[in-house]
Amino acid sequence: MIDRKLLLNTSLLICNTLKKFLPPKGQYHVIAYKIYLCIFVNYVLKYGRYTKFTRPLCPSALFSPLSALHLDSVVLYRLLTHNLDQEKSE
C-alpha cells in the first residue's frame, strides 16, 4: 500500500512544478507564455515514450522548395556594399 503522505508530497511536487509553466491569468492568449508549457509537455511525452503525441514546435524549412538564390561571397559583398559605394560618390 502506498503511503498517503508520500502520495500527497509527490502530488504537491508535480503541481508546484507545473504551476511554473502555466501563463498568468488573463495572459493565456500570448504565445510566448504558452511555449514553456509546450516544450515541457513535449519532453515529458518524449521521455514517457509517447512520441506520437509530441508536436514539432520549430519545424525546419527545407531549402529545396524555397528556391534559394545561389550566391557566393563575392556577390554578397557587392550587394551589401553597393549602397555604400553610391553614397560615397554623391
Question: Cell triple for residue 2?
Answer: 502506498
Q: What is the mean pLDDT of the chain?
A: 78
76 vs 73: CA distance, rounded Å: 5
Higher-pLDDT residue of 36 and 65 is: 36
Where are the domains positioned within the chain?
4-89
* Segment 32-56 mean pLDDT: 85
5 vs 58: CA distance, rounded Å: 41
